[in-house]
Each structure stands twice: as C-alpha cells, then as structure tokens.
Amino acid sequence: GAVVSQHPSWVICKSGTSVKIECRSLDFQATTMFWYRQFPKQSLMLMATSNEGSKATYEQGVEKDKFLINHASLTLSTLTVTSAHPEDSSFYICSARVRGAGVNQPQHFGDGTRLSIL
Amino acid sequence: GQNIDQPTEMTATEGAIVQINCTYQTSGFNGLFWYQQHAGEAPTFLSYNVLDGLEEKGRFSSFLSRSKGYSYLLLKELQMKDSASYLCAALNFNKFYFGSGTKLNVKP
C-alpha cells in the first residue's frame, strides 16, 4: 500500500518550455504532498508543501511564480516549471503523507522525474 | 535554520556491520528518519525514531538521542545490494530536512 506515482519519469525539452509534473497517490488520499529537488550528488531539497484546496507554501529562495503548484484533489498534485532554463535541470521528487496519519509518520515518495533542459 | 550532517562516503565489507551517523540542528523536531536511495531512484523508507533509543527492523536498526541531536543507522550482515546512499532526515513539524546523504560502498 501507500504507492505514489509520478509522471513523467523523464523529460527533455528546449529552453523556454513549460513542463508539468504530476504526482498521484494511487491507493490513499493525501491532503499534503511535498515537492523536492535533487541535484547530482546532493541531497533532497524541499521546494514547497502542497496543500489540497489551498495555496502551496514555498521554502525560502524558491520562486513561486516559476514553480507553480496545484493540488486540485486528494490524490493529485502538479508541479509546473514555467519557462524552464538549463539551470532548472534536476531530479524532481514528490512525496505524500497518508490523510489522517500523524505528522511523525513516514512520507511516501514517487519515483521522481528527471528534467533536462537543452 | 536547519542543519543535518552525515559523512559523505563509507566503505564496508560484505557480511560486516556498518554504522552511519547523523547529527542535526533544527528549529523544531518531530522525528528522525532514514531512507535508502539508489542512484537515479526515489528514496525508500527504512526506519525512524521519535523517542530516544534503538528501533530494530530486521537487518536495519536506528538509534536516536534527542539531547545530543544525534542518530545512527546500523546495517548488519551487509549485502552487495546495500550499496546505496543513505539519507538522514529530520522532521520539523510536517517538513523533512535531509542531510546530504552517505554513500555506502559494500565490497566483496
């Protein structure tokens, strides 16, 4: 149980393109999902917390107008990288917490999306 | 701010025991989690501690001392497939803050 699906798994596109990444909880509901970014040989950096039915909260230094987050339902959050540039190339991973689970319960991660901007 | 420290890389022999340490300084604390991550893949959950002491899950155990801001992950009976990065993450309310990860190399 507690499977998180992330799509697409790999994206290669031209500079200036906007890219949408989907994160779905397949067998549970998630009121809260999280978006991370990981550069090569570095750890996961939390970008934003996605809350169902309300605005996402962004970590310091993350541009909310560049990384648009929508959490339209209890099973889907999307991250849109707008006008992507080569420096946005990274591994983007989402995670979700089971609805009703305590704060100190593990988050469940998607398989990640590798974004390459040419 | 949040500061999570762990060694960059370790090497151990198949069948042996290895301990990966993690120290943390966070503005709030709700638990310490350990994840395994193979290159190019998402992290998978291994173990976590909310209270002080040792939690054992098969070949993996994790220890926490909140007063010292310290945790370790213990891997027993190492297997070649255990070669991966091990991420320490401190939970501050509902947000995880990850360390840079420890790359474990298991050699025959």
- Write out chain A residues lying below 8 Å of B35, CB-based: 109
Average pLDDT, chain A: 91
CB contact under 8 A, A45 and B98: yes
pLDDT in tens, A34-81: 999 998 878 889 999 988 888 899 999 999 999 999 988 899 999 999
The pLDDT of residue A103 is above 80:
no
Structure confidence by residue, pLDDT tens digits, B31-59: 999 999 998 888 888 999 999 999 998 99
**Contacting residues for A60 by C-beta, under 8 A, at least 6 apart:** none
Of chain B, the percentage scoring pLDDT greater than 90 comes to: 78
Contacts of B93 in chain A (CB under 8 A): 103
Who wins on pLDDT, A107 or B69? B69
- Average pLDDT across chain B, whole number: 93
Judged by a CB distance cut-off of 8 A, whether residue A32 touches chain B is yes
Pairing of strands A113-117, A10-13: parallel
- Look at residues A68, A92, A65, A64 and name the one whose alpha carbon lies nearest to residue A80: A68
Say how far apart CA B105 and CA B87 lie, in whole Å.
14
Q: Which residue has the tokens 């998607």?
A: A110
- Three-class DSSP labels, chain A: CCCEEEECCEEEECCCCCEEEEEEECCCCCCEEEEEEECCCCCCEEEEEEECCCCCEECCCCCCCCEEEEEEECCEEEEEECCCCHHHCEEEEEEEECCCCCCCCCCEECCCEEEEEC
Residue with tokens 């999902």: A33
Chain B residues with CB under 8 Å of A36 CB are 98
Query: Is B42 at the interface with chain A, CB within 8 A?
Result: yes
Average pLDDT over residues A11-28: 95
Pick from B48, B94, B98: which is nearest to A103 by CB? B94
Q: CB-based contact (8 Å) between A37 and chain B?
A: no
Hey, what are B104's tokens?
């474990």
